Amino acid sequence: MEILTSSRTCPELTETQWESIAPLFHGGHPEATRRGRGRPAHSARSVFEAIHWVLWTASVWAALPECYPDFRTCHRRFKVWFEAGLVQQAMETLYGDEGLDLCSAMGARMQVCRRAPGFKPRFRTSPGLGWSVAQHEAEN
């Protein structure tokens, strides 16, 4: 299986940049460990840095370098944050219109989430069910 990656290099996220967007992610993660069960959750910063890398390089999630948390963890949290508009807000804060363009490009690459009739999710989801907030609003 060939893994698609981009030759575009990703700028490092500086401490100042992280401090400017950290309040967006202050609530932690809804799937974080509760009552001491399961694995400890990865930090919001390490996951956002992985998301930042994927957005910036336009690579697939499976190509995520090993210095970041597992790509499945990052992708799962990306979907929650993207649908809530947090990724878009963070990228706009960091890079302005260029950051929003990167988010739009990722939104165009995302697949529609198809569910069987009567499917009930384990966790609460938004009405878009797989669509980004931007795509959902653009269609309505």
For residue range 62-102, what is the model confidence (pLDDT) as tens digits?
999 999 999 999 999 999 999 889 999 999 999 999 988 98
Number of structural domains found in the chain:
1
Tell me if 1 is assigned to some domain: no
Q: Residue 131 pLDDT > 50, yes or no?
A: no
| CB neighbour list of residue 90: distance below 8 Å, 6 or more residues apart | 21, 24, 25, 48, 99
Question: Which residue range(s) make up the domain with 53?
Answer: 43-139
Tell me if 33 is assigned to some domain: no
Tell me if 11 is assigned to some domain: no
Tell me if 113 is assigned to some domain: yes
The predicted model scores a pTM of 0.68
User: Could you report the per-residue pLDDT of 2-27, keeping only the tens digit for each?
Assistant: 344 455 677 788 999 999 999 998 76
Tell me if 53 is assigned to some domain: yes
Tell me if 19 is assigned to some domain: no
Question: Exposed, middle or buried: residue 10 (CB in 10 Å: 0-12, 13-18, 19+)?
Answer: middle
Tell me if 9 is assigned to some domain: no
Tell me if 7 is assigned to some domain: no
pLDDT of the residue at 86: 93
**Sign of the C-alpha dihedral computed for residues 44, 20, 49 and 75 taken in this order:** positive
**Average pLDDT over the chain, rounded to whole?**
76
pLDDT of the residue at 5: 47
* 64 and 71 Cβ atoms separated by less than 8 Å: yes
